[in-house]
Structures are given as C-alpha cells and as structure tokens.
Amino acid sequence: MQRAASARQLHRLLARSMSSATKSPAPLQRFAMASGNGEHYWAAADNAAHQAARPGFQGKTFSLQAELPSLPVPKLKDTVARYLESVKPYTHGDPAAYARQEQLCRDLLEGKGPELQQRLEQYARGKRNWMSRFWDSQAYLEYNDPVVPYVSYFFAHKALPATHARVQQDPLLKATAIVSAATRFIEALKDESLPAEQVRGTTPFCMNSFQLMFNTARLPGNPADNADTNVFYSLYENDYIAVAYRGNFYTLRTHCAKSGKPFAPGQIHAQFARIVHVLDGNGNAESHGVGALTSLPRDQWREAYVQLVRDPLSAASLEKIHRAAYLVCLDLDARPVTLEEKSHAAWHGDGVNRFFDKSVQFFVAGNGNSGFLGEHSKMDGTPTLFLNNYICGEMLKMDPQQFVEDAGKPCTKAEKHVSALQFNVSPALQNTIESAQLQMQETIGQHALKVWHYNRYGKEFIKSHKMSPDAYLQQIVQLAVYKYLGRQLPTYEAASTRKFFKGRTETGRSVSEASRRFVEAWGSPDVSRADKVQLLRDSAAAHAAYLKAASDGLGVDRHFFGLKNMVNPEQDKETIPALFSDPLFNYSSTWLVSTSQLTSEHFDGYGWSQVNDLGFGLAYMLNKQWLHINIVNKPELSGLSGERLHHYLNEAADEMAEALIAESTKAKL
C-alpha cells in the first residue's frame, strides 16, 4: 500500500485532489482498504493520507477489526449430525426415508467427505473468511435474475410526526433532511468516530460493510464471464451524490470543493430545487430512461452496458453515478399512502427513476413518504439498518422550524454545484430500454405483496412470557403455514455471522422436530392447553438454539456449500458425493418460506422477494407494540395466496397469545 512520506506532503496531495474542477485532478490509483479487508478502491490517495489531514479523526469505527475471529470450518461429523436432525420432520412416519439419509451420511463420512473436509480446511488456512469469495460470487455476482425484485431489499420510513409536518409534506425539504443527516453519517465515517458495533457491549461485530457502503456500485461484468463485479471509490474524494428525477440523472454536491466542509441545508435544498424547477424544464424533461437497463436480467444488462460505454459521454456519466456517495430518487409524481403502496415504492418505484446497481439509494415521493433500497452483493441488511436508523433519528431530533428556515436561505451558487448527466443512446439501445421497462412491469406484475401489520401485541408482550421474540414469531409462521397447507415447508431464517471477520449470514433451519410436534398438536382437541404451550416453548427454544449455533458459524448449509466448492470435476471427472444430489437433501434447502428479521421503530415497511418462486418471502419486524411481516409471492406460479397466509398469521398470533395469557393467569391463581 502506498504511503505518503510526511504530513506536509499529505496536505499538498489533499489540496490537489480537492482542487476545483478547472485543474487536473490527481490520477486515480488502486489502493487496498486501510483495514486490509481485501477490497480495493480507486482513489488519488489512500485512506491514511486523508485521515492524517482530518483534525477530528478518531479511528474508532474499525479499531476492533483485527480482534475479530476468523470464520471457522465446522467439524464434518458435527455438521452431518445437525443435518440429520434437521431432516427428521420431513421423514416423520417414513422410517425407510430417514434410514436412507443415515446411509447417505455414512457414505459421506466414510467416503469422499474427509478428503473434501481436508481440502476446505487447507483452503481456509491463512484466510480470515474462507467463504467470502465463494459466497459473494455465487450467491450474488453470478446470479442472473434482475437484482430488483429478486435480490435487493427495501425499508419504508415511517412518516415524520405532526411536529415535523412541513418537512414531511414537502418532498424537497424531506430530501434535504435525508441528505443532511446522511452527510453527517458520512462525516462520522470519515473521522471514524462511530464506535464499532458490539453485541451486548462485549462481542464486536465486523464493520467491513461500512467501508463498502458509499461511493460504490455493482458493475455489469464482461459478457463472456457471466458474472458482475463491484467498483469502489474513495469516501474522502467524491463529495457529491447522484439524483434521479423523471428518469434523468444529476449530480448534487454535498460539500464545498475548496474547504471540504459539508453544505448547509439551504445549499442542498437549492440544488434540489434547481433540478426540479430549472434543469427538468431545460431540455431534460424527456429522458432516455437509462436507469431501466439496471432492471434487466444481468446477461442482458451486460450486453447493453458494452454498447452504452462505447460512447465517451455516456461512459463518463455512468462513472459519475458509480462514484457518487449514493443516489436520491425524487418520485414527485408518486403519492404512496397504504403500507403496500409504500412498500412497492421503496422496492422498485416505476423501474425507470432508479439505478438498481447503486448500493445505497433513497427515494422521496411527492407526498414526502420516503424509503431506502439496498443492493445486496456486498452488504447485508444490518449495516444499512444502522444507517437508516441514524438518518431517521436525526430527522426526529432536529428543530423542524429552524430546519425549514435554514433550508429556505437563498443560495446563489446552486447552478455551479448541480449538473445534468447526459447519455447518447442509439436506436438499438433505446429499444432495449423500452424492452427493459416492459420486462420490469411484467416481472413486478407476477408478484403479490401483502403486509401483515399486527397491532394486538409486540415483542414486549413476548418477552413478558419469557420467550425470544424472534423465535416466537418463527412459531407464528410455522403454525400459520401448517394451518394453511396442512404441512410444513422448508424455512430459512438469516442468521448473522458478523462476529467473524467479513461475516455475513448463515442459514437458520426453522423446521425442526420440536416445531413439527408443536404445529401438529396445536389444533388437536386431545392435547391440553398446558401441553400445547409447553410444545410452543420447546419449539421456540429449539429454534433459538439452532440460530445461535448458526451465528457461531456452526450451521449446516454454508459448510456443505464450502464442501461442494472443493469438488473438482476437471480432476479425474470427480463427482459430488451422493448425499448432495439426493432429492430430500435438496428439498430440505429449497426455501419455500424465506424469512429474515430487521427491526426498527422508524420503519413501517421492510421486504424483498421470495427466494423460490413456489413459495413465500417473509421479511419481518418485531417492534415493541406491534409485529410486521411483508408477504411476497408469485400466486399464479405457486398457487399460494398471500391473503390466506395473512389470515392464518392473524389466527396463529391470536391463539398463541390467548393460550399464553390463560396459562399465565392460571399460574397466578
């Protein structure tokens, strides 16, 4: 890694890199991230150079990265035992089916398994996260379906309270408030003044994603490679954001080019106003709709990207979007009101006024409702949850009257800070854009989205009955699915592995023998209420235990994923072990119910698509006084109804609470 020799040289370098656009900028070079995390970004100077010139630099945010443990490789016999336990519910009543699984597992342990395990352990040696490259590539960058709706995730922000009505109801004021808060967050990242996250104040979480959050984008890769890539730019050298309005893109400066200081709200608001009231009416009202290309299946987008970047003007505009800190989408012609409408707006909007490859993007509708969309290839939801909680919290803390006054202060230099990005689009590319819009409309039209927002109780009630709120909600889901279909479906819950360096997720398998006993007994008149409650508690406890093991890196699915990657078909035509091609083995990881929890009191929406087109995607929140599940599925393809599942979720949640209350009351008598 290149290092500057002295503080004086550092300041000279930074002065050049932050000089006005009339001077030649310092050439970009490829630097490794200062934490040694393996990613690279394009910059004029490495992070250390910029940090040395910041008087407020504290170095807290990534200070615990070196202490994080490496992701472990579980013992093969332990993973096999956990797998066998996890498939028992699917073989209940069929001893021969379970015996076959036992035999396949013995064959693995006595055959190819130990060799694959040895290869994996050898591969992991010297790596702090053996799975990182495999997972990022195969789960995300090689995935061909459109990132929206199939990969990206969204948050819908709650409306600001009545005290902030002027900000909430004016979309440009709301956008200014979001940008002002996000700028403060970015400044804290630059100074590394945000403390590293710790679980219960003792176990540090990996902060790697916070270095990959801003000034970055997913890139369509070479069409011949059948995979995408990511590009990262310096957080310290690109003090502007991109703005989308009516399908056009603009750059909006957030910091003074000379001093590097953040702009005041008035300077931000004036630029938004110029985009909407001046630039949009100055030959830009008719857009090419280039953003729609990012909604295509990735192979089609790669082909279109090659055509688009042949034009130097278009290539430069794309790079501006990639280098921007993040994207703000002004959907001023949209006015989402219901929970479902707000979720759709945050998830995909019209599919044109977006750039789905951007890692972080916010939207603001014409009625002030706002939200967030995250591109998933390098980040999971918890870091961006932290970001959005910060932004929403900052908006609540501000003095709304003072903010409105500050935002209204005249700014005569707005025309110098904001500019429209231009694209030269050939007739063939324009046809591709129009096709992309039609494909997006068709794809979204195949999906049904229904919100289960349950106000009878929340996690405080669940805690009062001494159960894990997350495990309890998983039991609501299991019982609702069983009530609806008369059987359980393979269910995934994302378990965070951020306690490890570059940790992302492991699979929590929600279907267990305990959950089978619980759902089968619940509707039986032959089982007492006390026994039903005990079965509920047993199932919740079993789920919590599995999720803890998964968070400790001791799940089933990522280990088997690693072993499969150790098979070399080019070496003596090596084949995968028979277990890995067994129908029940594959069914047990066919996630017909995919779930994940991210909770915020600032949101009234969170979601993403189903993982398997024959099942449901259930994104949920566990709030103090209410529960929330975003239900997504493809009804025509799956034959399943989100409306019916919604009904059974209500029924399950009501019945479980009533049973707990009755048992608690009985215990007090």
Q: Which residues are catalytic?
A: 376
Tokens 């989205």, located at residue: 449
Residues 295 and 440: beta-carbon distance below 8 Å: yes
Using DSSP's 3-state secondary structure scheme, residue 42 falls into: strand
Residues 213 and 379: beta-carbon distance below 8 Å: yes
d(CA 213, CA 546): 30
Angle among Cα 655, 661, 666 to the nearest 5 degrees reads 125
Sign of CA dihedral 272, 276, 280, 286: positive
Rg (CA), the chain: 26
Q: At 195, phi and psi to the nearest 5?
A: -70, 150
Beta strand 216-219 with 203-204 is unpaired
| Number of alpha carbons in the 13 Å side-chain half-sphere of residue 168 | 12
CB atoms within 10 A of CB 182: 23
The token pair that represents 584 in the structure block: 């029940």
The token pair that represents 266 in the structure block: 């008035």
Beta strand 153-157 with 603-607 is antiparallel
- What DSSP letter does each residue of 230-257 carry, written as one string? EEEB-TTT--EEEEEETTEEEEEE-B-T
Residues 636 and 446: beta-carbon distance below 8 Å: yes
Angle among Cα 153, 156, 158 to the nearest 5 degrees reads 155
SS3 content of the chain, % helix, strand, coil (to 5): 50, 15, 35
d(CA 170, CA 244): 17
- What DSSP letter does each residue of 480-516 carry, written as one string? HHHHHHSS---EEEEEE-TTSTT--EEEEE---HHHH
d(CA 149, CA 607): 10
Residues 242 and 328: beta-carbon distance below 8 Å: yes
Q: Which residues pair with 128 in a beta bridge?
A: none
CB atoms within 10 A of CB 213: 24
- What DSSP letter does each residue of 339-392 carry, written as one string? HHHHHHHHHTTTSSS--TTBSEEEEEETTS-EEEEE--SS--HHHHHHHHHHHH
The token pair that represents 65 in the structure block: 């990265």
**What is the chain's length?**
669
